[in-house]
A and B are shown apart, each in its own frame.
Chain A
């Protein structure tokens, strides 16, 4: 597996709740923590969530994560214009012995 699978795009209106899925396998999501990164236009990615659902300080509680089996998801509630960005999931892959990133999801606020 060369990448975790994410939908290419997701959208919502301000205030709505959206979710982004991340699908993997037993050698990555199924046996390791999932991390989420946010990449605003023209900038480097930024750390968003760790260990499936933990938020570092400074990340709003509008962002939440979950994991079940070989899939994970990121939820953004109370969607705001500044949430427009690409979102990437990531997990260690035991077969690859390396870090796998998701294919990325572009979030648009309508």
Chain B
């Protein structure tokens, strides 16, 4: 069973870059069986897909965030990273990493999530 654990600063200043890491256990980020995705949820609101990365390095991002978001893999550490630049208060959310079964859009495992607050 795949397990995911997000980590990173809980507070980011406006205009700075939000950086999070997701450590994967029970599976490999180099596996062709999964896409690795980031999803966020503003407090009290619904889910928003941020983007995903495949083991080949292929990425796909939500157009509403394009230009600000980068997702990357660190195969040596079995980690997935998220960078979101020029943040505003609207980027305050719980950020989840998740595994998406390759060939489907089925999110079978989620991390516990990490709250990131954008505030000066």
Contacts and interface: CB of A to CB of B under 8 A. Distances in A.
Q: Do A and B come from one complex?
A: yes
Interface of A: 2-3, 32-33, 35, 37, 43-47, 50-51, 56, 88, 90-92, 96-104
Contacts of B48: 101
Interface of B: 37, 39, 46-49, 51-52, 60-64, 96, 104-113
Nearest to B109: A47
25 contacts: A3-B46, A35-B105, A37-B47, A43-B112, A44-B96, A44-B111, A44-B112, A45-B96, A47-B106, A47-B109, A50-B104, A50-B106, A51-B104, A51-B106, A56-B108, A88-B47, A91-B105, A98-B49, A98-B51, A98-B60, A98-B63, A99-B105, A101-B49, A102-B46, A104-B46
Nearest to A3: B46
A92 B103 CA distance: 12
* Most chain A CB inside 10 Å of its own CB: which residue of B49, B61, B112: B49
A35 B104 CA distance: 10
